[in-house]
Amino acid sequence: MPSGSNSLMWFRKGLRIHDNPSLEYAAKNSTQVYPVFVIDPHYMKPDPTAFSPGSKLAGLNRIRFLLESLVDLDSSLKKLGSRLLVLHGDPGDVVIRCLKEWDIKKLCFEYDTDPYYQALDAKVQSYAFENSIEVFSPVSHTLFNPVEIIQKNGGNPPMNCLSFSKVAGEPHWLSSSLFTSLSMIPPVGDVRNLEVSDVPTVKQLGYEDTQEEEPPIFKGGESEALRRLKESTKDKEWVAKFEKPNTDPSAFLRPATTMLSPYLKFGCLSSRYMYQCIKEIEKEFKNHTSPPVSLLGQLFWRDFFYTVGFGTPNFDHMRGNKICRQIPWNNDDELLAAWRDARTGFPWIDAIMVQLQKWGWIHHLARHSVACFLTRGDLFIHWEKGRDVFERLLVDSDWAINNGNWLWLSCSSFFYQYHRIYSPVSFGKKYDPTGAYIRHFLPVLKDMPKEYIYEPWTAPLSIQTKANCIIGKDYPKPIISHETASKECKGRMAAAYELNKEKNGMVSDEDLQNLR
Ligand code: FAD
C-alpha cells in the first residue's frame, strides 16, 4: 500500500476536472479519494404544486442540466481511474457520515460565497476541525477572492463594476496553466455501509421524462462547456470587438452572446480558464474592447455581483438590505401570474417569458425588458417576486448575479435612473422590426402583419380574423396601458426616492404603507 490517507472530494458547483484545485489537492499524496456529490431532496424532489415542472426550488431544465453535468463528470473521473459517488440526503449530514465511515483525513471542496453554502460549510468544517480532519477549500468559482477584494477596498465591497476592476487588478493566476495536470486519481475506497448510487435520471427522481417538441438548448457538462467555449471563441475578431450593449436580444437562431452562463453557474466551465482564453485573444488585437462592455468585462460583472452579494447582509431582500432603496411595491398575484405565464398582452414581453420557460435562458437585454416591465416600468410588483420566478426558471440561476441584477433593474440599487423605462413595444422593434422572435415563441401571432406584431390590439378586426388571432380570445388584450402605467410608476418611484432621502435609509413599514 502506498503511504498517504483517505481524502474526500466534495463536488457541489465546480463540476469539472480542469482548473479544479480542490480535486488536485485531494489527489495529492492520498491513498484513496472518494469523489462525492450529494443529491439534496429539498432541491431535487418533484413539487407537483409548483407553477412549472421541477422541484420546489428549481425548474426541470436546470435539474436536467445538473444531472447531465454529473454524468459527464462521472465519465471524466472514470477516465482518470476514479468515479463519482452519488449519495442522497441532507448534504451536511451525508458528508459528515462519509467523513466518519471512510476514515477521511482530508476534506476538499471549492469555496462558495452563497449563504446556503456558507451555513452548510460552517457545519461540516466545524465537525472536521473537531476531528482533526484537514480542510482544503480554495476559491476557484470566481476570478478573485471576494474576501480579499473587500479587504483591499477598506472593508466594503466596491459598488460599481469599474471600481471593482480597479481594486481587483490582474488576477494572480493569470500566467499559470489552469488546465488539469491530473493524469490519474487514486482509487475510490470501500464505500462500506453508505448507500451510493450512480447519477439518477430525471425519471428516477420522479419526473415525467417528457419528449420536448424542440431539442434542449443546453446539454450539461464540462465536455460540452469546453466545446462551446472553443466554438464561441473561434471567431477571434468577434471576441475582441464584443460590446455587450450592442448585442441583439431578439437573436434566437444564433444568439448574440456566448450562452455560457449555465456552464459558469455550475462550474462546468472555469471562469478563470475562460478569462485566460479571452485574454490570449485580446493580445492579438490592438483595438479590442474593454470592461465593462467587453467579453472580459462580462466576467468582471460576474465577480462584481459575487463580491457585493457576499459583502452585503440581506442582499436578497429589500428589508434589512442597506444598499437597497425601500419602495412600496404592489402585491398583485394576478398581474404577477400574467407576467410569469406570458399573458401580459404585450408580445415582446410574452415571447421573452415563453423563451425563458422553454429554454431556461434569455438574452441579457431581454432580462432587462421583462424585469423593468414587472417592477418600476409598468406593474410595480416587488423585484423579489420576479427574482423568484427567474431563480426557478433559469438554467444559469445564480444567487449573487440574479439578486444583483434584480436590484439593478428595479432601480433599488446600483442604477437609479428610474425615468428610463424600456418600452414593451418599441424596444424590441428596434432590433427585430418584422417580429421574427415573437412569431417563433408566440406562434399564435405568426400570421399577424408586421405593422401590428408588437401591438396586435391595434389591428382592425378584419386583420385579426385574417391572421387567425382575435385579441381578447386567442391572445390576451394588454393587461395595462403602458403609457398610463409607466407614468404612474415614475411618480411612485420619485416619491419613494424622496422618502429614502428624507429618512436617510431608515424607512419603516409604516412609511412604506403611507406611500401606497
Ligand atoms: P455573455 O454576454 O456571453 O457573458 C459571459 C458571462 O459573463 C456570462 O455567462 C455570465 O457568467 C457573465 N455575465 C454576463 N453578464 C453579466 C451580468 N450582467 N452580471 C453578472 N454576470 C454577467 N446571469 C446569470 O449567470 N445568472 C442569473 O441568475 C442571472 N440573472 C439575471 C437577472 C436579471 C434581471 C438580469 C438583467 C440579468 C441576469 N443575469 C444572470 C446576467 C446576464 O443576463 C447573464 O449572465 C447573461 O445573459 C448570460 O448569457 P451569456 O452567457 O451569453 O452572457
DSSP code, position 205: T
- Tell me which amino acid residue 183 is: S
Burial class (CB in 10 A: 0-12, 13-18, 19+), 272: buried
Q: What does the alpha-carbon distance between residue 409 and residue 382 come to, in Å, rounded to a whole number?
A: 11
For β-strands 134-136 and 30-39, DSSP reports them as unpaired
Q: Long-range CB contacts (< 8 A, 24+ apart) of 204-213?
A: 205/39, 205/44, 205/45, 205/46, 205/63, 205/67, 206/45, 206/46, 207/46, 207/53, 207/60, 207/63, 208/53
ipTM higher than threshold 0.85: yes
Q: Which three cell numbers stand for residue 261?
A: 452562463
Ligand 1 centre to CA of 206 (Å) is 31
Nearest protein CA to atom 43 of ligand 1, as residue: 364
DSSP-based three-state secondary structure for 245: helix
Helix (H) or strand (E) holding 437: helix 436-441
State the closest ligand 1 atom to the C-alpha of 255, by its place in the atom list counted from 1: 52
pLDDT tens for the chain, 516 residues long, are: 344 699 999 999 999 999 999 999 999 999 999 999 999 998 999 999 999 999 999 999 999 999 999 999 999 999 999 999 999 999 999 999 999 999 999 999 999 999 999 999 999 999 999 999 999 999 999 999 999 999 999 999 999 999 999 999 999 999 888 887 789 999 999 999 999 999 999 999 999 877 666 778 999 999 999 999 999 999 999 999 999 999 999 999 999 999 999 999 999 999 999 999 999 999 999 999 999 999 999 999 999 999 999 999 999 999 999 999 999 999 999 999 999 999 999 999 999 999 999 999 999 999 999 999 999 999 999 999 999 999 999 999 999 999 999 999 999 999 999 999 999 999 999 999 999 999 999 999 999 999 999 999 999 999 999 999 999 999 999 999 999 999 999 999 999 999 999 998 799 999 999 988
Nearest protein CA to atom 9 of ligand 1, as residue: 261
Ligand 1 centre to CA of 328 (Å) is 27
Q: Which of 37, 201, 35, 196 has the alpha carbon at shortest distance from 104?
A: 35
Q: What does the alpha-carbon distance between residue 388 and residue 120 come to, in Å, rounded to a whole number?
A: 22
Nearest protein CA to atom 21 of ligand 1, as residue: 302
Ligand 1 centre to CA of 448 (Å) is 32
Q: How far is CA 320 from CA 216, 312, 313, 507, 510, in A?
A: 40, 10, 8, 10, 15
Ligand 1 centre to CA of 257 (Å) is 10
Q: Please check whether residue 244 is in contact with residue 302, taking contact to mean a CB–CB distance below 8 angstroms.
A: no
For ligand 1, residues with CB inside 6 Å are: 244, 257-261, 264-265, 298-299, 301-302, 305, 363-364, 367-368, 371, 390, 394, 396-398, 401-402, 405-406, 409
Binding residues for FAD: 257-261, 298-305, 396-398
Ligand 1 centre to CA of 364 (Å) is 6
Burial class (CB in 10 A: 0-12, 13-18, 19+), 440: middle
Nearest protein CA to atom 15 of ligand 1, as residue: 298
Q: What does the alpha-carbon distance between residue 499 and residue 506 come to, in Å, rounded to a whole number?
A: 9
